[in-house]
Amino acid sequence: MSVATPNKRPAESDETPKSKRTPNTPFCRIKDEDVVFHDERLMDNTFMSKGGSLGSYGHKAHNDLIVTRGKGFTKEKNKKKRGSYRGGKIDLESHSIKFNFDE
């Protein structure tokens, strides 16, 4: 007569590789703490951070596209590219950031 014994795992010690694991982090070639901004306006790359974005030509498209993700974004973007889209007033203002290079 054979008696089945339950499979008991040995108690895990602190030296096992499983205890040394860290949570998964995505691959990042450039670390956030190593980035130096020459102008604080470059820290925010959103449409609304651009000066004069309210009431501009792309503001209506921004409101429609900011809430969509994935295939829906591509579909909405392509709809905006057709001739039926009418945004706001087209302005000729420059919103560039000037840099001083004294080298």
Mean pLDDT of 59-83: 85
Residue 8, domain member (yes or no): no
Residue 95, domain member (yes or no): no
Residue 42 pLDDT: 83
4 band by pLDDT with thresholds 50, 70 and 90: low
Residue 19, domain member (yes or no): no
Residue 2, domain member (yes or no): no
56: how many CB neighbours lie within 10 A of its CB? 20
Distance of CA 33 to CAs 26, 29, 30, 36, Å?
A: 16, 12, 9, 8
Residue 15 pLDDT: 55
pTM for the model: 0.49
Residue 90, domain member (yes or no): no
- How many domains does the chain contain in total? 1
Domain membership of residue 52 as a residue range: 40-82
pLDDT tens, 7-51? 666 555 555 556 676 788 888 899 888 988 888 888 888 888 877
